[in-house]
Structure 1
């Protein structure tokens, strides 16, 4: 990996849905972004439906190309807008949910319960009850304690839910510490050494329909080796369980396949598919995966406008204050995540490019969206596009500092639709209530 930042040409070459037109205006999937900024103001999210469809079809083709049947459940947490879910449902995807809210939203978007997988730690009894009553495809149990609660609820409800055990395989995915989920000591899943005992318990429980195993080792994984190690561990466990007389009909390989935000080189999806097929494809099990970021990450852009530029003495880079902030895009503050940034107009100043730091207006020192980025000199009202923000972007937004949620726009084949209006200031406090005793004063 080079220490030099990618050039403008390299950024565009790796993202064929981006280009500058003859007027040097940035085009995203056929639409001039400055027109969207003019109509809907900034900050503003822009999502491409056609890029999402294309990536969904490419992922399915990677598995069909090696003749490996597979079920795909989109990780709703990556981008939970109903439009995103509805597009993927029409492309044949189910949903991987981690809360009762996501479960209900997936159903509201048209995904049938049978195509829903419920993962995640700390499921409330009410959420498990919802999953049982709606008869979803499978509940991925994450602990001995959750298994016991699920048995009690199933007994009381008189239903027999399909259950898999989510195994923690003790594999370091080589990703950021805060998005690693399969290492020893991480909060997710059942220790793989305990899983055989709990599998026997679940398989012999008359109130549960035990169907198999699941594993998810992290997010934004950029090497094939961790996936291969996880598949090997799952394959070994399936073989051992069957030798013990326990039927295993299903294995969920999780998600986590990374994308290129900066200079990463994630595995090709065909290589990813081949690893799963090589280790699990001969075991006569129904295989499923839970892609999220890989599908939706490149489909989104966050538009922002320069508020002001605060000059700094050399060698420090100037602060460029923008109207997008950590409450809009939390990833840089949470994970020191990198998102490429492009000006919406490539012409203009003839001055040489310089390092500049993009800072939001939120009252936190950590509200920095990009540090020391080499860009054309920026001035008040210049427009910028923060790239690859379609996953863990809008879905993680907050209203911190009383900043309303930004508008969300979807584009496809030149068409533009506002899929979520900009939140009004008044709505920030419309659900608030003063205590009764205040009214008496």
Structure 2
């Protein structure tokens, strides 16, 4: 569900016409819906009730501080994977005891920043990281709460680049070695072992991989408790997918996911943490772009947009599908025609879709990429010296620019010419 609907023939974000925003700030731009962010967060927290739980939004999916503050004000925690994301969460007013620090390559400086600012827990991914954290915490005279990420060797049946729970992936420790690693953690100074962490991948469209992983976590909880560890918190990761194509079968709902959690680990007496990103942010955002040219090619027509792969890299990187719609609603019965939808970057890979059926479009028309809120703006770059595009947040009948488009002068001012030139 989202709040991007046609009204009086024009696609709106809640009560604001996307064409009105485009007229004021230009294109391309990202636009997010407060109502959609709110509803999707609430679906998760309702699905886990009455279990003690914390829904930690995965900042890597959408990191604008205004979005984080929107979710933080609702009670969300945050899942971060870098010091920069940690600072974004703090800037949004999220307290340290609601921030979980994940990621395989935390540096000692990042550990120090989080310990100084306050942290709910570190999700430790390796023994060298665990030892480094022990040294940093001990040197500061503080205790670092940790959950150890176990790799359950479960195939998430998702894209190979976003699968994280198989034995060949870089994430976590093998679950078969959990006992010895937890034993070492208990001996190290400066650490408080509070729980278990698992995360098997992103954009999962079925529940069975989650069930396999969570049953392994339940067994591990019993074993570690028998070995003397006070396991009181389970971080079950995120990864629940969204329907990128409207005609595709819908992935499981948060209610079904919550029921699975209750069935597999709900009787362990643990506080449950989950780290959804895409399902909260994905359908909350659209990318709006304008047609620069319609080019007639050899046996195909190209729709050349002012958005490019540097603005939305998912189709180029993952072969990902995004529904593309005209901002001005086509008349009923309008016959569609196939377009190759491309951007202006000098790469053949700068292609959003091939032979995509769309209503006839002309130079100057606006289009919107649906389900672009997750892994859109956060993965954007200034390739070809194209400015990062604005982000807009809508609430009801008003909107605000929450990241402005930089000028070329601002971009060039970041470069420094050495004195010998």
TM-score band, normalised by the shorter chain? over 0.9
1:300 maps to which of 276, 280, 285: 285
Q: Secondary structure at the match of 2:303?
A: strand
* TM-aligned CA distance change 1:230 to 1:79, over 3 Å: same
Alpha-carbon shift at residue 68 of structure 1 (Å): 2.1
Report 1:227-266 matches (<5 A): 227-262=210-245, 263-266=248-251
* TM-aligned CA distance change 1:245 to 1:80, over 3 Å: same
Is 2:70 the counterpart of 1:79? no
Alpha-carbon shift at residue 20 of structure 1 (Å): 2.3
- Between the aligned partners of 1:271 and 1:352, the Cα distance in structure 2 is 38
Counterpart in the other structure of 1:274: 259
Alpha-carbon shift at residue 27 of structure 1 (Å): 2.1
Is 2:381 the counterpart of 1:415? no
Deviates more, 1:343-352 or 1:169-178: 343-352
Report 1:227-376 matches (<5 A): 227-262=210-245, 263-314=248-299, 317-347=300-330, 352-376=335-359
Counterpart in the other structure of 1:18: 4
Alpha-carbon shift at residue 313 of structure 1 (Å): 3.0
2:19 maps to which of 15, 34, 50: 34
Alpha-carbon shift at residue 50 of structure 1 (Å): 1.5
Q: Deviations over 1:194-230 (max 9, x none)?
A: 2221111112323211111100111111100011111
Counterpart in the other structure of 1:8: none
- Between the aligned partners of 1:34 and 1:226, the Cα distance in structure 2 is 42
Deviates more, 1:199-208 or 1:216-225: 199-208
Q: Secondary structure at the match of 2:43?
A: helix
Normalising by the residue count of structure 2, what TM-score does the alignment of the two structures yield?
Answer: 0.97
Alpha-carbon shift at residue 365 of structure 1 (Å): 0.8
Q: Secondary structure at the match of 2:23?
A: helix
Counterpart in the other structure of 1:187: 170
Alpha-carbon shift at residue 132 of structure 1 (Å): 2.0
Counterpart in the other structure of 2:378: 395
Counterpart in the other structure of 1:45: 30
Q: CA RMSD in A?
A: 1.4
Deviates more, 1:421-430 or 1:218-227: 421-430
Kindly indicate whether the alpha-carbon contact (under 8 Å) linking 2:13 and 2:394 is maintained by their aligned counterparts in 1: no
- Between the aligned partners of 2:120 and 2:13, the Cα distance in structure 1 is 37
- Between the aligned partners of 2:268 and 2:72, the Cα distance in structure 1 is 28
Q: Secondary structure at the match of 1:54?
A: helix
Counterpart in the other structure of 1:102: 85
Alpha-carbon shift at residue 16 of structure 1 (Å): 5.5
Counterpart in the other structure of 2:207: 224
Alpha-carbon shift at residue 148 of structure 1 (Å): 1.2
Runs (4 or more) in structure 1 with deviation over 6 Å come to 348-351
| Count of residue correspondences | 419
- Between the aligned partners of 1:346 and 1:281, the Cα distance in structure 2 is 47
Alpha-carbon shift at residue 130 of structure 1 (Å): 1.2
Unaligned runs of 5+ in 2: none
- Between the aligned partners of 1:349 and 1:210, the Cα distance in structure 2 is 61
- Between the aligned partners of 2:410 and 2:60, the Cα distance in structure 1 is 24
Counterpart in the other structure of 1:7: none
- Between the aligned partners of 1:114 and 1:188, the Cα distance in structure 2 is 24
Kindly indicate whether the alpha-carbon contact (under 8 Å) linking 2:138 and 2:189 is maintained by their aligned counterparts in 1: no
- Between the aligned partners of 2:65 and 2:302, the Cα distance in structure 1 is 36
- Between the aligned partners of 1:347 and 1:364, the Cα distance in structure 2 is 31
Q: Secondary structure at the match of 1:371?
A: strand
Normalising by the residue count of structure 1, what TM-score does the alignment of the two structures yield?
Answer: 0.92
- Between the aligned partners of 2:261 and 2:395, the Cα distance in structure 1 is 33
* TM-aligned CA distance change 1:409 to 1:16, over 3 Å: closer
Q: Deviations over 1:319-339 (max 9, x none)?
A: 110000010001111101100
- Between the aligned partners of 2:389 and 2:147, the Cα distance in structure 1 is 38
Unaligned runs of 5+ in 1: 1-14
- Between the aligned partners of 1:232 and 1:345, the Cα distance in structure 2 is 49
- Between the aligned partners of 2:333 and 2:175, the Cα distance in structure 1 is 60
Alpha-carbon shift at residue 374 of structure 1 (Å): 0.4
Kindly indicate whether the alpha-carbon contact (under 8 Å) linking 1:349 and 1:377 is maintained by their aligned counterparts in 2: no
